[in-house]
Structure 1
């Protein structure tokens, strides 16, 4: 583990074309789970100029039968969910408008061969929805136990979106990206060396006094979000460095579900297994096991057992038990990593980290996923049914298991 270095993470706004696609896909997941908590959903979305296309495989009571026939009214509800998502984000532009965009629904029944391997039957428990590896991570760089570079990148764009929606910054349009570079000394962030913000804007905000107004606004947001001790006169700002940014969103660049997985997770500060989250129901371990791994890593750091923690889980499609569990505290642990692995095995709440055990423990079969699809799946506030994997209610149990 290095102690002195520069590190950078980026984030993208809810209006970024890939994030529009993620939010639409998760709106469909929520719609179907509200009809059938055991629904199977793998929904992919393409966004481009004045067009949204859905594709993927689904199954669920009151949604679609095995022959591909829709339940009455469901196609209309799907289209409504798509248009309402685009409207909420704020797209009312000639090149992408919630009301007039062309919509195509190509969802079809889930493969029976996948279903027979995944579903519980007889003495067979529910199996993983796919093979793969999943990672969870936590560190003590921020109050939410997230990498600081990603945490501040998200917060900049969340604040800008809030100001856009409220009218406090009416010159902003939905598409935006941010990037934060921090200098670390002795493993702790000490200074922001570079801030990059590119934001779509209203006409005329790329020159003269209006451009200066936009730049001043962005710098104020950064000053409000990033602790003042990390900013100084040497911090370099790159605000709309390419110049004009009037054409954006799906009209400026096509968007696809699952292309922003590093933004969704840890900003490059931890490994990623490769599978995206959005558009998938919680039987897909790409999603649920990654949430469980974050839950465990966060509780380990919150318990003071380590300052940094990476957890890997691995699964085979149709098999319920995980193939492996790996813990790495990067030399910051107060006990051996192998001892933490054994302690995790004693956490009864997680049901042996089987797909069903995770779903039950974290109560994942609810329509809670639209909120996850912008500004990261981790480092969020656990409120009500939302973001249950961000709770730190395993702290005492883990301490007891290691006593």
Structure 2
């Protein structure tokens, strides 16, 4: 029987964290190429370090890169390389890096993107009677629970919200002592598998010189304590809550100058904060034909709709694929003992509601659009869906699920 009473912890990192800088640049390149060609293939990895950004990976975007059309420029269309560099610099500028060790105008930029492997393309592309195949083998998970209105684990939800608040206040200049790099961690006490209070809260935030001691240090700490009180529900922060704010002391050197960043190193921050399994594949930098991304999105979509329909309090869904094969190899539904219906029946119903091939997922969710940059910080899930953004957060299967049961 699953434990009912326990402590659980999740962490988040800000948009200025070096790994998240890398994720955001990679997804800016995805959006740029999809905006030029919705059928683009992109696998863009980014490295960030002291005043340097390096791109590498495989692409296919005829509007920007085609070896046959643009032989004289090594495959790149006129102006394409400049557009890619501009996209990377725009991300760093938006985040707010104008430091000696990492500045959006002055960092060294290197682009090692090249054409997609023909051997991958032949297995993935549609051809004749062959449907579009999965871009790789692998397992993908989706999860939802009733701990928050967003149907996300509360520990991760509040970790994200704390850092979003710091970023909003930094940008709007409500405070003038914050820099872009920060991390948060939230530990909650659960009773009956529902969060009751915070037992520990941690924030480490980069700051301008002088805010590590004395009155200025106290001002920073008081500000963060106020954010805790505003973001968490009433009563969650009490006199017993252990609070750690910049526990190492001074945090002036941060971002890529303080630590190198790589695309795809924060996959648990991106998903469910450790409350659910993760298949291992990162999301950022990948176009939606890559099932690492699209199948994880549709798994969340199905799990969220199951919980929103009242069919379970918690739901985990797993999908698996083989490279070049269209249909998933398996679909698994686990409601952790909270389900009101037979999971086997759900496993039969869900493929009738959503075609779970790579092309079917992209079509159902409308993924062939430049919608990925906003996903690359503060989580891919638990976000507010709009007409275009975060379509996997919609709950438009609820009525059909209810009718079926």
User: Is TM-score (shorter-chain normalized) higher than 0.5?
Assistant: yes
Q: Which residue of 2 aligns with 1:400?
A: 403
Q: Which residue of 2 aligns with 1:287?
A: 293
Q: Which residue of 1 aligns with 2:32?
A: 31
Runs of 4+ in 1 over 2 A off after TM superposition: none
Deviation at 1:170, TM superposition (A): 1.3
Deviation at 1:66, TM superposition (A): 3.7
Secondary structure at the counterpart of residue 185 of structure 2: strand
Q: Which residue of 2 aligns with 1:7?
A: 8
Q: Which residue of 1 aligns with 2:277?
A: 271
Q: Which residue of 1 aligns with 2:181?
A: 175
Distance in 1 (CA, whole Å) between partners of 2:38 and 2:122 is 19
Q: Is the 8 A contact 1:183 1:190 kept in 2?
A: yes
Give matches, 1:315-326, under 5 Å.
315-326=321-332
Distance in 1 (CA, whole Å) between partners of 2:38 and 2:62 is 9
CA RMSD of aligned residues (A): 0.7
For residues 168-190 of structure 1, what are the alpha-carbon distances to aligned partners after superposition, in whole Å with 9 as ceiling and x for unaligned?
11100000000000000111101
Give matches, 1:110-125, under 5 Å.
110-125=116-131
Q: Which residue of 2 aligns with 1:246?
A: 252
**Which of 75, 83, 91 pairs up with 2:81?**
75
**Which of 336, 347, 356 pairs up with 1:330?**
336
Q: Is the 8 A contact 2:46 2:263 kept in 1?
A: yes
For residues 45-85 of structure 1, what are the alpha-carbon distances to aligned partners after superposition, in whole Å with 9 as ceiling and x for unaligned?
00000000000000012111146510111100000000000
For residues 8-54 of structure 1, what are the alpha-carbon distances to aligned partners after superposition, in whole Å with 9 as ceiling and x for unaligned?
00000000000000000000000000000000000000000000000
Secondary structure at the counterpart of residue 235 of structure 2: helix
Distance in 2 (CA, whole Å) between partners of 1:345 and 1:175 is 42
Give matches, 1:2-401, under 5 Å.
2-66=3-67, 68-347=74-353, 350-351=354-355, 353-401=356-404
Runs of 5+ consecutive residues of structure 1 not aligned to the other structure: none
Distance in 1 (CA, whole Å) between partners of 2:171 and 2:304 is 32
Distance in 2 (CA, whole Å) between partners of 1:321 and 1:137 is 21
Deviation at 1:164, TM superposition (A): 0.3
Instruction: Give the paired residue count.
Output: 399
Distance in 1 (CA, whole Å) between partners of 2:175 and 2:142 is 36
Deviation at 1:229, TM superposition (A): 2.0
Distance in 2 (CA, whole Å) between partners of 1:345 and 1:399 is 16
Q: Which residue of 1 aligns with 2:71?
A: none
Secondary structure at the counterpart of residue 326 of structure 1: strand
Distance in 2 (CA, whole Å) between partners of 1:255 and 1:30 is 20
Distance in 2 (CA, whole Å) between partners of 1:170 and 1:134 is 41
Distance in 2 (CA, whole Å) between partners of 1:308 and 1:229 is 25
Distance in 2 (CA, whole Å) between partners of 1:220 and 1:112 is 55
Deviation at 1:340, TM superposition (A): 1.5
Deviation at 1:230, TM superposition (A): 1.4
Deviation at 1:193, TM superposition (A): 0.1
Q: Is the 8 A contact 2:385 2:393 kept in 1?
A: yes
Deviation at 1:95, TM superposition (A): 0.1
Distance in 1 (CA, whole Å) between partners of 2:48 and 2:61 is 25
Runs of 5+ consecutive residues of structure 2 not aligned to the other structure: 69-73
Q: Is the 8 A contact 2:67 2:76 kept in 1?
A: no
